[in-house]
A = this chain, B = another copy of it.
Amino acid sequence: MQNFIVDRWLPDEDSSVNVKSEWFIKGLFLYEVVRTYNRLPFALNKHYDRLLHSAEYMGVEKAVPDFDMLVSLVMEGIEKNKTNNELRIRLVLAGQNLLLLYEELPVMSKDIYELGVKVGISPFHRPSEYIIPGKIKLIGAPWSFLTRTKLGEYYDLLLLNEKGEVCEGSFTNVFLVKEETLITPHEASGILPGITRENVLNLARALEMKVEVRSVMAWELFVADELFLTHTSAGIVPVRRLENKVLIEEFPDGYTRILMDNFEGYVMTREDNWKGIKL
């Protein structure tokens, strides 16, 4: 793969950055993970806005190129990295330096969509918005990192905040369905509000589902009718088992299935996911 490293395109083996710089010592790495559909970057403008917001918060906004420049760079990389698969592109702001790191998007097993996955509760906590501003997407958030070391047989482990509210998985957002209502934790609980999460919320509203974005206590997961995860690489992933309990005996025929069936069509045709990209 070719990657954009500060000011030039370099192959993987030469994609290095100097570590005697202040930003490395301080650990100032902001990032976004973008995927392609049909080799076009999905929701790039939303990732851009989020990166810019984080950069402003951290005082390094000068390092962010303007959006048109970023689109050009991203598209140039897609051109350079020919492959039969979709791509995953990490936009990294290492201090004042922009990095675009390319790799193939892992192909998800169909099983996860058809059989559902197993999730658990992380032994680590995530601070709520009261303690750390949740939206700042930092490489190396210790709660996510530590949780990933404990995944084992679980697809993901859900993190609770200091109040016992559910936040998110180590790389996913979480939704539950209860009494015909779609529920997901609000930002105050301490979450990275993912682009896929936002698309699912918009899709649900377009389908006239009842939606609640609110504080969710961890135990509510165990009395949910349905449960699913979302993340950029895999979209919507249904959950069958939670800790040692089979949450769903019959595989969901409810909201989860409806959202999964409509998700790709929806995101592919929503204009706001393709702003600035020539289709």
Residues on A close to B: CB < 8 A?
A: 1, 3, 5, 12-13, 15-20, 24-29, 57-59, 90, 92, 94, 99, 101, 103, 121, 124-127, 130-132, 136, 138-143, 145-146, 148-149, 160-165, 217-219, 221-223, 243-245
A219 contacts which of B12, B15, B125, B219 (Cβ < 8 Å)? B219
Report chain B residues within 8 Å CB of A140. Answer: 26-29, 138-140
Report chain B residues within 8 Å CB of A5. Answer: 19
Taking a contact as CB atoms under 8 Å apart, the answer to whether B132 and A142 are in contact is yes
Max chain B C-beta neighbours (<10 A), residue from A138, A162, A219? A219
Given contacts A12-B18, A29-B140, 10 further A-B contacts (CB under 8 A): A3-B20, A16-B16, A19-B94, A27-B141, A127-B127, A162-B162, A163-B164, A219-B219, A222-B222, A223-B243
Taking a contact as CB atoms under 8 Å apart, the answer to whether B90 and A25 are in contact is yes
A245 contacts which of B12, B16, B19, B223 (Cβ < 8 Å)? B223
Closest to A120 in B: B223
With A15-B18, A218-B217 given, is the CB distance from A26 to B131 under 8 Å? no
Complex: how many Å from CA A136 to CA B101?
28
Taking a contact as CB atoms under 8 Å apart, the answer to whether A244 and B223 are in contact is yes
Taking a contact as CB atoms under 8 Å apart, the answer to whether A58 and B16 are in contact is no
Report chain B residues within 8 Å CB of A126. Answer: 131
Taking a contact as CB atoms under 8 Å apart, the answer to whether A15 and B26 are in contact is no
Q: How far, in Å, is A248 (CB) from chain B's closest CB?
A: 13
Report chain B residues within 8 Å CB of A217. Answer: 121, 160, 164, 218
Taking a contact as CB atoms under 8 Å apart, the answer to whether A127 and B138 are in contact is no
Complex: how many Å from CA A138 to CA B165?
25
10 contacts between A and B (CB under 8 A): A3-B20, A12-B20, A28-B140, A59-B149, A124-B132, A125-B131, A141-B142, A160-B164, A223-B244, A223-B245
